[in-house]
């Protein structure tokens, strides 16, 4: 079955831009408060759990590229149709579209919650959601190259935030890091599992791969992107461990924002408020990438115009946001999204690779016999 995409050179982008794509989709709203989730499982060895989670990510990326290289100019949606047939393949594709929509919804509503809590307590969250969705529509209609360009710009603009996080180290207590290796392997793995939802997003490369010009270089830049985000999350985690005691870190919801809140600059007093507002530049590429992934999946099932899709997609997201009325409901959605994303990102690629490998072997045997 021919499921390959016909892509013009004008739609393609250079492989080095995958580095910026990976760093932007992995660093989003999760960086606000991932620390307490991991500390709950791995305590002072939480930094080890982060390393484990990224080692798993590198393995998954390797497996993803093994599958993609079998099909050259095809995305995960076309691969599913080829492996499982049109009916069941499109059913899997539809589930992946739903997954992209759920993650989009989760990111958007978490950002809205932070904005309302920290910056605009008197503003209805719907206003913030509409504003962000309008930005998504504007960016999305520009096409994939515009989205990737936003990832490039969005990588450099927030770098100053890492420098600001050096200030809390003035109050660091190295004793909070000890004893090292005091937790068993199960606790470390649970911590890595808790980290998994924070670092997902790189799975979208299975949708972007056909649009990459130098496909032989693609895997290198994805791994470099993973390495960079590992350094960022390790840095933020270690600063948090040095600043907060264990009891504090378990109770604080948004540890990173709390670190920003103690910084007092001569020209800027409430820097955490500026950080939250500035974060729209960070999450906008994430949202656009997930919207693009959903669009490519729907395009395999039904013929739909790009503008029609994004209007319909954002309308569903906006209507769905009215169903979230309490913090408890948002926590439930976060947990569900975390569990689902783990299986979609860290389990499903192995299954698809196994099926693709078997089919490739069987097909070669049939060709030799004939």
Question: What is the DSSP code string of 2-57?
Answer: -------GGG-B-TTHHHHHHHHHHSSGGGGTHHHHHHHHHGGGHHHHHHHHHHHH
Categorize the per-residue pLDDT at 1 as very low, low, confident or very high, splitting at 50, 70 and 90.
low
* pLDDT computed for residue 369 by the predictor: 45
Residues 6+ apart with CB under 8 A from 227: 54
For the cut 90, the answer to whether the pLDDT of residue 8 exceeds it is: no
* pLDDT computed for residue 368 by the predictor: 42
pLDDT digits (tens, 9 = 90+) for 221-273: 999 999 999 999 999 999 999 999 988 998 898 999 899 888 877 767 778 88
* pLDDT computed for residue 36 by the predictor: 92
Better-scored residue on pLDDT, 72 or 99: 99
Where along the chain do its domains lie? 9-369
- Lowest-confidence region among 95-99, 314-318, 335-339: 335-339
pTM over 0.75: yes
Please check whether residue 242 is in contact with residue 177, taking contact to mean a CB–CB distance below 8 angstroms.
Answer: yes
Average confidence (pLDDT) over 317-328: 88
Please check whether residue 316 is in contact with residue 297, taking contact to mean a CB–CB distance below 8 angstroms.
Answer: no
* pLDDT computed for residue 7 by the predictor: 82
Measured on CA atoms in the order 271, 272, 274, 279, is the torsion positive or negative? positive
For the cut 70, the answer to whether the pLDDT of residue 66 exceeds it is: yes
pLDDT digits (tens, 9 = 90+) for 128-159: 999 999 999 999 999 999 999 999 999 998 88
**Residue 283 to residue 132: CA distance in whole angstroms:** 10
CATH code of the domain occupying 9-369: 1.20.1740.10
């Amino acid at each position: 079955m021919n499921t390959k995409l016909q892509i013009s050179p004008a739609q393609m982008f250079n492989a080095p831009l995958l580095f910026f794509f990976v760093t932007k989709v992995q660093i989003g709203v999760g960086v606000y408060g991932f620390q307490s989730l991991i500390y709950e499982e791995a305590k002072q060895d939480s930094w080890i759990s982060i390393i484990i989670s990224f080692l798993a990510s590198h393995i998954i990326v390797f497996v993803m590229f093994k599958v993609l290289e079998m099909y050259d100019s095809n995305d995960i949606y076309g691969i599913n149709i080829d492996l499982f047939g049109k009916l069941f393949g499109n059913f899997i594709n539809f589930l992946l579209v739903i997954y992209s929509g759920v993650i989009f919804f989760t990111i958007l509503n978490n950002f809205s919650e932070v904005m309302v809590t920290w910056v605009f307590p008197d503003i209805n969250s719907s206003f913030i959601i509409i504003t962000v969705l309008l930005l998504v529509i504007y960016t999305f209609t520009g096409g994939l190259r515009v989205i990737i360009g936003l990832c490039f710009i969005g990588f450099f603009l927030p770098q100053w935030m890492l420098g600001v996080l050096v200030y809390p180290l003035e109050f660091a207590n190295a004793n909070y890091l000890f004893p090292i290796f005091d937790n068993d392997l199960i606790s470390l793995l649970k911590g890595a599992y808790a980290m998994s939802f924070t670092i997902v997003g790189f799975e979208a490369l299975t949708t972007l791969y056909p649009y990459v010009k130098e496909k032989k270089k693609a895997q290198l830049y994805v791994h470099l992107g993973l390495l960079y985000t590992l350094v960022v999350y390790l840095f933020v985690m270690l600063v948090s461990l040095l600043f907060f005691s264990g009891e504090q870190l378990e109770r604080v919801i948004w540890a990173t924002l709390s670190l920003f809140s103690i910084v007092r600059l001569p020209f800027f007093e409430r820097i955490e408020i500026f950080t939250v507002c500035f974060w729209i530049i960070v999450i906008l590429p994430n949202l656009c990438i997930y919207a693009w992934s959903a669009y490519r999946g729907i395009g395999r099932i039904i013929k739909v115009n790009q503008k029609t899709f994004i209007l319909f997609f954002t309308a569903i997201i906006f209507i769905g946001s009215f169903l979230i009325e309490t913090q408890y409901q948002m926590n439930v959605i976060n947990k569900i999204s975390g569990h689902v994303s783990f299986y979609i990102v860290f389990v499903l690629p192995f299954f698809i690779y196994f099926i693709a490998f078997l089919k490739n072997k069987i097909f070669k045997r049939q060709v030799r016999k004939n």
